[in-house]
Amino acid sequence: MQPLDDDNLLAVSDRYARFARSEAHGNSAFYEAVCEAIAVDEELCARIAELPPAKQQPNLVLASARYLDAPEHAPADFTAWLVDAWPRVRAVALEHRTQTNEPNRTGVLLTLLAQIDGPVALIEVGASGGLCLFPDRYSHTYDDAHRLDPDDGRSAVVTRCETTGAVPFPTRMPRIVSRTGVDLHPLDVSRPEDARWLRALVWPGQREREERLDAAIGIARTTPPALIEGDLNERIGDLVAAVPSGVTPVVQHTAVLAYLDAAGRDRFFDQMRSLPARWISYEGRGVFPRIDAQVPGGVRADENRFIVSFDARPVAFAAPHGQRLDWM
Ligand SMILES: C[S@@+](CC[C@H](N)C(=O)[O-])C[C@H]1O[C@@H](n2cnc3c(N)ncnc32)[C@H](O)[C@@H]1O
């Protein structure tokens, strides 16, 4: 075991305090209270600091605890349980990654996908369990005023999105003839443990997200997408080249490129500009500076909405889980 110094403990404490303030606040009162408690608990900070830096992230540690059925009625019980169960939590955190798969994001993606005529080969990079590969199998609602259902009727998965601006509300589903995902570590939702991990990544109290996730897992289990293990930069060229003529390749991704370094993101941008494919990107500020630079009025340094772009042109800001879409 590495000896811990105070700087390590302080860094963990600071990270959990910041997570409480800027990420959990307003989204999960329970996680906010738990992270505030961890930030001032020297014993827990010391244990977390023993993990490799990439594994210290609050989302991963908390999801690992949820995966093991940590008690969720009172924050103090959760943190006491975390101390007792630490060896098991640690093992789960070391084996897993944050791979949140959020089907609600498809409501945002669909506004662009629905504009593409003819048969589409949908390719998702960083697909996790592939649940964003089924936009045409879900029902979509925008502001409770616009709704689009799959051709065979209402879906058990209903996305919800509040909007501003001139959103091109979809009026028809894209004709998706193939669904392929690539991921460094694809999750197979037909495996109970992978589905359990995806559920653990949803935050406590987010019932609607849990129900949507379960329903989407049900759909993916009956018609599994093709999920390939690999790095997106290595695979994307071959995946696009494999699409038969007469079918439009569409590459989409959400909340993925932030995992790459700047050189990896640049390489992907350049590949996407030269490949014969349509390209829908839904990523955080700063991921593609060449797209951010085109946003009318610029992108504020504290912008926490994601930027949605179509063929490298920014079109909208969107909340990270697809719950809001502000057209530019
Ligand atoms: C936060 S998840 C998002 C999943 C999905 N796009 C969604 O929005 O629901 C990010 C995914 O990207 C994958 N990923 C990260 N870097 C990657 C890379 N270089 N190549 C392929 N997949 C990658 C991770 O394994 C993870 O499953």
Kindly state whether residues 301 and 203 are assigned to the same domain: yes
- Expressed in angstroms and rounded, the spacing between residue 96 Cα and the centre of ligand 1 is 13
In-domain check, residue 187: yes
321 lines ligand 1 (CB under 6 A): no
Do the domain assignments include residue 320?
Answer: yes
Q: Domain check: are 91 and 129 in the same one?
A: no
Examine residue 170 and state whether it is found in any structural domain, yes or no. yes
Q: Are residues 12 and 148 in the same domain?
A: no
Q: Are 252 and 109 in contact (CB under 8 A)?
A: yes
SS (H, E, C) 95-149: HCCCCCCCHHHHHHHHHHHCCCCCEEEEEEECCCCCHHHCHHHCEEEECCCEEEC
How far is Cα 101 from Cα 213, in angstroms, rounded to an integer? 8
Does residue 260 have its Cβ closer than 6 Å to ligand 1?
yes
Residue 1 has pLDDT above 70, yes or no: no
What would the pLDDT profile of 113-163 be if each residue is shown by its tens digit? 999 998 999 999 999 999 999 999 999 999 989 999 999 999 999 999 999
CA 325 to ligand 1 center in whole angstroms: 22
CATH value at residue 290: 3.40.50
Atom number, ligand 1, closest to the C-alpha of residue 264: 19
- At residue 173, the pLDDT reads 97
Pairing relationship of beta strands 226-229 and 175-183 according to DSSP bridges: parallel
Range of the domain at 27: 6-95
> DSSP E strands: which ranges in the chain?
119-125, 139-142, 146-148, 158-164, 175-183, 226-229, 248-254, 278-283, 306-310, 313-318, 324-327
d(CA 260, CA 279) in angstroms, rounded, equals: 18
Q: Does any domain span residue 1?
A: no
The two three-digit tokens of residue 31, written as one number: 């996680």
Residue 317 lies in a domain: yes
The dihedral built from the CA positions of residue 69, 259, 219 and 146, taken in this order, carries a sign that is: positive
Is residue 35 in some structural domain?
yes
- The closest of 197, 49, 178, 175 to 116, measured between CA atoms, is 175
Specify the residue with its C-alpha closest to ligand 1, atom 7.
Answer: 101
Can you tell me the distance from the alpha carbon of 21 to that of 261, in angstroms, rounded to the nearest whole number?
Answer: 26
pLDDT of residue 205: 87
**What residue owns the CA closest to ligand 1's atom 11?**
126
Domain boundary among 95, 121, 149: 95
The reply to whether 179 and 307 lie within a common domain is yes
| Same-domain status, 149 and 72 | no
Tokens of 67: 């995966």
Last residue of one domain, picked from the residues 42, 70, 95:
95
Q: Which two tokens stand for residue 208?
A: 């609607």
Note whether 63 and 159 are same-domain residues: no
> What are 140-149's pLDDT values in tens digits?
999 989 999 9
Taking the CA atoms of residue 23, residue 25, residue 28 and residue 29 in that order, the dihedral angle to the nearest 10 degrees is 150
pLDDT of the residue at 5: 62
CA-to-CA separations, 70 to 185, 214, 269, in angstroms, rounded: 25, 20, 41
| Domain match, 169 and 294 both | yes
Q: Are residues 155 and 12 in the same domain?
A: no
Q: How much is the average pLDDT of 82-98?
A: 97
Interatomic CA distance for residues 192 and 177, integer angstroms: 27
Q: Is the CB of 252 under 6 A from ligand 1?
A: no
Show which of 95, 121, 156 is a domain's final residue. Answer: 95
Tens digit of pLDDT for each residue in 163-209? Answer: 999 999 999 999 999 999 999 999 999 999 999 999 999 999 899 99
Note whether 292 and 163 are same-domain residues: yes
Are residue 139 and residue 190 in the same domain, yes or no?
yes
Is 13 domain-assigned?
yes
Does 132 sit in the ligand 1 pocket, CB within 6 Å? yes
Q: Could you tell me if residue 260 is inside a domain?
A: yes
For residues 308 and 191, state if they share a domain: yes
Please check whether residues 159 and 296 belong to one and the same domain: yes
> Structurally, how many domains does the chain consist of?
2
Read off the tokens for 275: 């490949």
